[in-house]
Every structure is written in C-alpha cells, then in structure tokens.
Amino acid sequence: MDDLSKLQEVLQRSQRPLFAVLDGAQFPDLPTTLSDGDLFHRSLYRASSRGGQDQDRRAPQLVWLDRGRHAASQTVNRPIRQASLDRLIDLIKGKHACVFWECAAGGEKLYHHLRKINVVLFPRHAQVDQGKSYEVDPRPNADESVAPHGHLKRVILRHSDPNVMAQIIPTLSRGQYLRLLGPADAIIFQPDEEWGDSIMRASRKGDAASAPRGFLTFNMRNIDEIEHQRREAVAGKRVAYLRKVAPDFTVTKSDNELRDLVRRQDTEAEELGLRLEYSRKLWAFMMLISDEKSGQAPEVRAYIRSGPDTPDQNFAVLFNKTKSVVRVHRRAD
C-alpha cells in the first residue's frame, strides 16, 4: 500500500468534510507524531488513569483534515486543508493504518459515533484473538462502556485498519451497514493487495434511513463469512509462495489446484499442532514436492505432535534434517 496517489486524488475531490481515523497501534507515539505534523486530532479512547501512557499512544485517533492542530474542534467545517492531507498521506505510506470518513454532519458527531463503535457485540462462543479484525478489549475494566449481554461479549472493532474494513463490510446486513456508517455519508479506504488493493467506498447510495439504535452487533453469519475471507486470503498468499519457491513443481498446476492442496495441507498442519504461518508454508511446500507423501509416516507425525518442544519447533528440526528438501528449497528461494 505504498502507492497512495490515486487514493489522494479521490480524497481531494471530496465535496464533504473529510476526516481520517488512524490506528495508534501501528505507530510508536501517534499523538506526538500528529501534533508534530500540525494535525488536529482527538483520541477515540476515553482517558484513563489506569490505562497509562502506552494505552494513550496506541489509541486510535480522529484527525480533522480541514484545519491545523491549534484550531478548535467546534470550528465550522471547511474544505480540505491540502497541507494536512499531504502530511497524512506521507505518514501512512507503507502501513494499513488509516480509514477516511466523509461526514457532512461534522467532526463532533462523527467523533461521538466512532467512540460508540470502538466496542461491538459478538457471539460469546466466537473465537476472538489478536491479529483478527476484532480482538478482546485491552482497556482496563474502569473504561468499560458496554456490559456483556447474555450470549454476547464486548469486542474491540479495529475500524481504523482498512484491511479490517475490507473484511467486515461485505458481510453486513443493511441494518448493520447503516449502524456502521452512523452520521457519516461514506467510508473510503485502500486495503492491502490480499484484501483487494483497490480504493473502496462504502456510502449511503441515496439511502436516507436512520441507523438502528444500540450497539453494532455481529452474528455467526458475519463471523463465518469473515473467517472464510481470511482463510481464502491466506491460501492465496501460500499459493504465491509455492509458485515462488517451487516453480518446477507448480508450473503445470492451476491456482485452483494449488489452493486445494493448500487447504488440505492446512487441515493436516492444524491436526499436527502447527501454529506458525512459516511452519504451515513449509509444510505445504514439503507436501507439494513429495506428491503429498512426505511427513505421512506415523513416527514423523508422532514426533511433530509429541517431541521435546512445541510442534512448530519439532517440525523445524525434522525439516532441517531433510537435506534434500532443504537443498531444493534453497535453490528455489
């Protein structure tokens, strides 16, 4: 996502007040960086004495793109301040760390809306962890604004990450879609290649209906569709990896055939306890060049599962001992 020139052109043509939401977790100290760049911003997390400075630095920030840092947030919305947009684009190059919002209702209404969708409700039995489009709320209990609702649990929605927005928006029902937009007219973002790599725009499209009240709530249909997208994106990355490191073994295979192999071998890797992405790529590589026979011996599988270290470490030992495989891999890499 280094080339943001087309995105910048689209943003410059915006006819409504434009705002940016940045993911503080992807910067060492985002508030200071924004202030140094003369960008007016406000944290989307409530200040908390229990959270500490690290939480403040990692909080998502709403940036007004029509003014400098010393303006008042109540200032009447104006056209885009070119210097602010230029500095912001420079800041986010190489990062999936910014989502833009058009909102004719103004920054204050958008700010309060975004504070509300920081936390969403998920089915209690849905798996939630770091690195997903959604994660356990890291903030201290004193900052909790949403109580659990029986079969639902509170989850942080990483709406400042364009890759996240590319994953969740296609799964939303009309009501969920309007709740995500809130007072905004449109959401504009550019995800990484695996999620589309093109400028995406979610807008009302003439729909004047009001957003449903209450918290944005996801159901298992949403979760299943998001997870399917994630699995397909991972499969695509592994296919590209296999074509790079083993061209002699992939030249006669279609992408669909390689995807099928990757899916089968991901299931095998899961059963063996392999967790690291690197391990799973190597497992798929090894099975590709052995016609899916290498690693099937019971003693090999037992060692990976129950050897002296973790399955990933045990597999690394076995892989490095397989000299012929390693030589092929090194020649192709």
Indicate whether 28 belongs to any domain: yes
Q: Both 162 and 294 in a single domain?
A: no
φ and ψ at 250, to 5 degrees?
A: -115, -10
**To 10 degrees, the CA torsion angle through 280, 285, 290, 295?**
-20
Task: Dig out the tokens for 128 from the structure.
Answer: 């939630």
Q: Both 107 and 244 in a single domain?
A: no
Residue 76 has pLDDT above 70, yes or no: no
pLDDT one-digit tens code per residue, 17-41? 999 999 998 999 999 999 999 999 9
- C-alpha–C-alpha distance, residues 119 and 123, integer Å: 13
Q: How far is CA 200 from CA 6, 99, 223, 239, 326, in A?
A: 12, 10, 21, 25, 41
What mean pLDDT do residues 131-155 have? 59
Straight-line distance from the first to the last Cα atom of the chain, in angstroms, rounded to the nearest whole number:
24
Reported pTM: 0.80
Q: Both 72 and 21 in a single domain?
A: yes
- Assess contact for 111 and 42: CB atoms under 8 A: yes
Q: Both 75 and 198 in a single domain?
A: yes
Indicate whether 187 belongs to any domain: yes
Q: Which residues contact 199 (CB under 8 A, 6 or more apart)?
A: 6, 7, 10, 188, 189, 190
The burial class, CB within 10 Å (0-12 / 13-18 / 19+), for 202 is buried
Q: Both 79 and 193 in a single domain?
A: yes
Indicate whether 320 belongs to any domain: yes
Measured at the CA of 184, the angle between CA 178 and CA 186, to 5 degrees, comes to: 85
Q: Both 58 and 105 in a single domain?
A: yes
Indicate whether 128 belongs to any domain: no
From the list 240, 316, 311, 215, the residue with the least C-alpha distance to 272 is: 311
pLDDT one-digit tens code per residue, 177-221? 999 999 999 999 999 888 877 899 999 877 667 777 889 999 999
- C-alpha–C-alpha distance, residues 181 and 305, integer Å: 46
Q: Which domain holds residue 79?
A: 5-114+158-207
Indicate whether 35 belongs to any domain: yes
Q: Both 102 and 194 in a single domain?
A: yes
Q: Both 184 and 96 in a single domain?
A: yes
From 40-49, 73-82, 152-161, 289-298, the region with the lowest mean pLDDT: 73-82
Q: Both 173 and 294 in a single domain?
A: no
Count CA atoms closer than 13 A to 319's CA, side-chain side: 21
